[in-house]
Amino acid sequence: MAPIGKMFVVFGAVIVGVGLLLMFFDKIPLLGKLPGDVHVKKDNFEFYFPITTSILISAVLSLVLWIFSSLGKK
């Protein structure tokens, strides 16, 4: 039962971390306004696709998960 409890604690911490990140997302400078983010604005239409921001967040999350994975194997 102990491994399941640890897993729930980790998932809870991740959910809290994501919640805090979403609360303060507007205060993070340049995130969502990087070169390569697509923003098209016309009369009655606005389209926004943060491709560069998505790639950056994916790379950072991959690095963090790789570090946790490598520490867990020892």
- For the chain, the domains span 1-28, 31-74
How is the chain split among helix, strand and coil, in percent rounded to 5?
A: 65, 10, 25
pTM: 0.60
Q: What would the two tokens of residue 67 be?
A: 């570090």
List pLDDT tens digits, range 29-73: 777 788 889 989 999 999 999 899 899 889 988 998 888 888 777
Pairing of strands 38-41, 46-49: antiparallel
For residue 9, is pLDDT > 80? yes
Nearest 5°: the CA angle 73, 12, 1 is 60
Tell me which DSSP letter residue 28 carries: S
